[in-house]
Amino acid sequence: MTKRLFAIGDVHGCFDKLRALIEDKIHLQKSDKLILLGDYIDRGTQSKEVIDYIIELKEKGFDIIPLRGNHEDMLIDFIFDKNNLSLWIQNGGSETLKSFGISSLESFESKYIDFFKDLQYYYSHDDFLFVHAGFNDEAINPFEDKRHMIWKCRENYKHLLLENKIIVHGHCPIKESILKKQLLESKSVINVDTGCVFVDKMGYGKLSAIELYTKILYSV
């Protein structure tokens, strides 16, 4: 049985905040389950350290489910299709290459490519659905629209497969005060992306985790 259930929002290369959040704030245990909501890379300066840390925790036996964000998806797309490489570079890809100490995507070690390719688009646990961005509320099967899951956020859902679920996502940066309000009002859609990489924007710049059973918020 899962003792605690955590979700952490977009990391974007902010390794120091991620480690402080996991080790100093939530004190992650092997009896806990942690869902990471994607966007581990780009923009920040420590993308490699973030990925290495996630891999290390999983290898040590921690119950961690890393989901796919649009930034990981862009990276995978451009490894196999160079036509749109500039889009990824413009969205922080150059910082990722620098972090890994490489100059081209062909230089990525296979273990990192495997990590990115194996990322799930969504995860279901108890009454919760975890996804990077959101689901297509108009689709017959909202779990088949992968592009929607990594690009499109929604504040509410009416789909029969979604309406009784609590949907936990990232992707769309919000102020920590908004997240606190969502938890206080027991919203059925919870956005955990408090814009950790945007330290120059008032009200942003924090990496956040939620313990879903107790609705306790932890931030660094």
Q: Please report, for the domain that includes residue 90, its CATH number.
A: 3.60.21.10
> What is the pLDDT, as a whole number, of residue 52?
98
| List of residues 6+ apart from 29 with CB closer than 8 A | 3, 4
Query: ∠66-135-94 over CA atoms, to 5°?
Result: 50
Q: What mean pLDDT, rounded, does the chain reach?
A: 94
Give the pLDDT confidence of 135-163 residue by residue, as tens digits. 999 999 999 999 999 999 999 999 999 98
Cα separations (Å) of 195 from 26, 148, 167, 205? 19, 20, 19, 5
The tally of domains found in the chain comes to 1
Predicted structure pTM score: 0.95
> What is the pLDDT, as a whole number, of residue 84?
65
> What is the pLDDT, as a whole number, of residue 208?
98
Mean pLDDT for 87-109 is 85
Query: What percentage of the chain carries pLDDT values higher than 70?
Result: 98
Give the pLDDT confidence of 9-47 residue by residue, as tens digits. 999 999 999 999 999 999 999 999 999 999 999 999 999
Domain boundaries, position 188 = 5-219
Neighbours of 217 (CB within 10 A): 18
Closest of 203, 137, 206, 202 to residue 192, by C-alpha: 206
